[in-house]
């Protein structure tokens, strides 16, 4: 609590200079009432590090995540290998996964419309041709996507960002047309808004005033990727304090999600893994430790979605699927962090994940000895393929050159349950 009080006071001091004492008293009065109400509401819960009264963070409240390496080196080093860290970066030949080599650098829409990926003196470009004549060259400026499934690309025009028509599709190791783009012509004006950047960067400073859906950005004030501060809150003040007080080993001005309530922990992930939620405040105003429901219309019930889980896409809505699962509903503690250590790249480590299932499901217990489990030799090495099978996404669908039906990506379903068909497949594979 002291943390909230002291930072509220320092904000109030700035106000005093400008507007005098009465505003300060009023402000403190409101702050005290606010804190009392919150304390009453949350008596039985863990201490929230929320700071709802503060102004929205701006670029100066953030630092480069490299700064954290000075004192948290192992976490920083591991984190640079994660899909989160790599999900947005300035484009260069090394980080773009698609090929610029002749023979594999083109995409034909129709016999007369073609696009080619080219390396020129001034950078890397997607160049549109009509009947062999160059029509438009668009620069690769920003990469979106670590490349687990694919990479999309953004291009600056003045202070606006446009999504490029061609995406790299990992499963086919090919250039493809971008998801949702037409299959028979080159679309060059798909404007990128702050919501796209809110899920793929940690902060992007808008320059078109306070608007719900900013479309103009300061290109020098972007924190690429899902970095430390997306889950720990803007950290400039933490760095400043700990640097000035090296002898003080108590952390200040920083959020540790494990000290938040269950909902606040889930909110951090649900900002981006909670489906297509509708915002009620401008992008980037929600930061870790706040209540997502104050910024978006979110449904935190775990009611009757079970019957409809088939309608929830496996892409980008792990939260809704998990919430519909019996594990989540019956357990009172499960969050995303029960199974995920997001500081590390743990992709594909099925045995590690299975061990996390076993923190609640004891294979030695009698209830575990079901007919299927008893028939397995190494049941403990992989719970995942039977209970969280990979399923095709309905929304990530791209057209490969010359194909009439789109190709989809598959993702793990977070609707943890019993899947007879996948069980059969798994048994066939392992026998």
User: Which residues from 50-89 bind ligand HEC, rule CB under 6 A?
Assistant: 63, 65, 67-68, 70-72, 75-76, 79, 83-84, 87
Residue 209's contacts (CB-CB under 8 Å, 6 or more residues apart) are none
CB crowding 302-330: b at 16 or more within 10 Å, else e: eeebeeebeebbbbbbbbbbbbbbebbee
CA angle (259 as vertex; 32, 354 as ends), nearest 5: 155
Where are the alpha helices (H) located in 310-410, listed in sequence order? 318-324, 326-330, 350-357, 371-374, 384-387
**What strands, in cross-sheet order, belong to the sheet with 123-130?**
106-108, 113-120, 123-130, 133-139
Site for ligand HEC in 81-140 (CB under 6 A): 83-84, 87
Dist CA 8 CA 242 (whole Å): 19
**CB of 226: closest distance to ligand HEC in angstroms?**
5
Does 342 contact ligand HEC by CB under 6 A? yes
Q: Smallest distance, Å, CB 179 to ligand HEC? A: 8
Closer CB to ligand HEC, residue 46 or residue 112?
46
Nearer to ligand HEC, 152 or 408 (CB): 152
Report if residue 192 touches ligand HEC, rule: CB under 6 A. Answer: yes
Are the CB atoms for 324 and 415 separated by under 8 Å? Answer: yes
Site for ligand HEC in 264-293 (CB under 6 A): 268-269, 271-273
Q: In the complex, what is the shortest distance from the CB of residue 134 to ligand HEC, in angstroms, rounded to a whole number?
A: 25
249 binds ligand HEC (CB under 6 A): yes
- CA torsion sign for 16, 21, 24, 28 is positive
Query: Could you tell me the smallest distance in angstroms from the CB atom of residue 129 to ligand HEC?
Result: 24
- Residue 348 binds ligand HEC, judged by CB under 6 A: yes
Binding track, positions 375-414, relative to ligand HEC; x by CB under 6 A: -x--xx-xxx-xxx----------------------xx-x
At residue 23, the 3 state secondary structure works out as helix
Q: Which of residues 1-60 bind ligand HEC (CB under 6 A)?
A: none
CA dist 407 and 227 (Å) reads 30
- Of the pair 27, 89, the CB lying nearest ligand HEC is at 89
Site for ligand HEC in 197-236 (CB under 6 A): 199-200, 226-232, 235
- How near is the Cβ of 104 to ligand HEC at its closest, in Å? 19
């Amino acid at each position: 609590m002291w943390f909230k009080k002291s930072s509220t006071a320092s904000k109030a001091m700035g106000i005093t200079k400008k507007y005098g004492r009465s505003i300060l008293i009023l402000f403190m009065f409101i702050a005290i009432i606010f804190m009392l109400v919150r304390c009453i509401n949350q008596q039985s819960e863990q201490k929230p590090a929320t700071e709802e009264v503060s102004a929205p963070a701006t670029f100066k409240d953030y630092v480069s995540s490299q700064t954290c390496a000075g004192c948290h080196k192992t976490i920083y080093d591991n984190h640079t290998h994660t899909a989160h860290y790599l999900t947005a970066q300035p484009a260069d030949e090394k980080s773009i996964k698609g090929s610029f080599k002749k023979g594999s650098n083109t995409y034909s829409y129709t016999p007369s419309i073609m696009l080619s990926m080219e390396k020129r003196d001034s950078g890397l470009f997607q160049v549109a041709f009509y009947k062999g004549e160059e029509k438009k060259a668009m620069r690769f400026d920003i990469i979106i996507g670590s490349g687990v499934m694919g990479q999309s690309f953004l291009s600056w025009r003045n202070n606006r960002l446009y999504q490029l028509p061609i995406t790299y599709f990992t499963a086919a190791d090919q250039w493809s047309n971008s998801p949702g783009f037409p299959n028979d012509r080159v679309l060059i004006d798909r404007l990128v808004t702050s919501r796209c950047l809110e899920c793929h960067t940690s902060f992007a400073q808008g320059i078109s005033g306070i608007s719900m859906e900013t479309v103009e950005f300061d290109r020098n004030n972007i924190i690429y990727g899902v970095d430390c501060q997306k889950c720990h809150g803007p950290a400039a003040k933490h760095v400043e304090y700990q640097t000035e007080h090296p002898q003080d080993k108590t952390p200040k001005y920083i959020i540790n999600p494990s000290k938040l309530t269950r909902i606040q922990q889930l909110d951090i992930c649900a900002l981006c893994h909670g489906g297509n939620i509708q915002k009620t405040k401008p992008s980037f105003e929600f930061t870790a430790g706040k209540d997502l429901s104050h910024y978006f219309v979110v449904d935190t019930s775990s009611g009757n979605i079970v019957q409809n889980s088939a309608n929830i896409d496996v892409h980008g809505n792990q939260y809704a699927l998990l919430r519909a699962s019996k594990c989540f509903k019956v357990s009172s503690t499960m969050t995303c962090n029960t199974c995920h250590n997001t500081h590390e790249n743990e992709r594909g480590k099925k045995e590690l994940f299975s061990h996390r299932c076993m923190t609640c499901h004891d294979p030695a217990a009698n209830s575990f000895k079901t007919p299927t489990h008893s028939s397995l030799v190494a049941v403990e090495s992989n719970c995942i393929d039977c209970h969280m099978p990979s399923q095709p996404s309905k929304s990530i669908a791209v057209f490969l050159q010359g194909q009439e039906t789109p190709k989809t990506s598959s993702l793990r379903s977070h609707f943890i349950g019993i899947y007879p068909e996948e069980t059969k497949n798994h048994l066939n594979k392992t026998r």
